[in-house]
Amino acid sequence: MKVRIIILDDNDIDLFISEKVVNRFNHQIEVKSFTNQKNFLEYVQLSQFEEQLRQVFLIDLKLVGETGLDVADYLYLQTSIRKDIYFLSSTIDQRDLEAVRRHPLVVDLLTKPLQAHHLSRILS
Q: What is the pLDDT of residues 71-121, one digit of tens each?
A: 998 888 875 666 789 999 987 788 888 888 898 889 999 999 999 999 999
Q: What is the pLDDT of residue 48?
A: 60
Global pTM reads 0.91
Mean pLDDT of the chain: 89
Q: What is the DSSP letter of 10?
A: S
Q: What is the pLDDT of residue 90?
A: 86
Q: What is the pLDDT of residue 50?
A: 62
> Under a CB-based contact definition with an 8 Å cutoff, are residues 66 and 41 in contact?
no
pLDDT category, 6, cuts 50, 70, 90?
very high
Residue-wise pLDDT for 46-58, tens only, equals 776 666 788 899 9
The answer for residues whose C-beta is within 8 angstroms of residue 5's C-beta and 6 or more apart is 22, 29, 30, 31, 32, 55, 56, 57, 58
Better-predicted residue by pLDDT, 54 or 11: 11
Domains of the chain and any CATH numbers: 2-123 (3.40.50.2300)
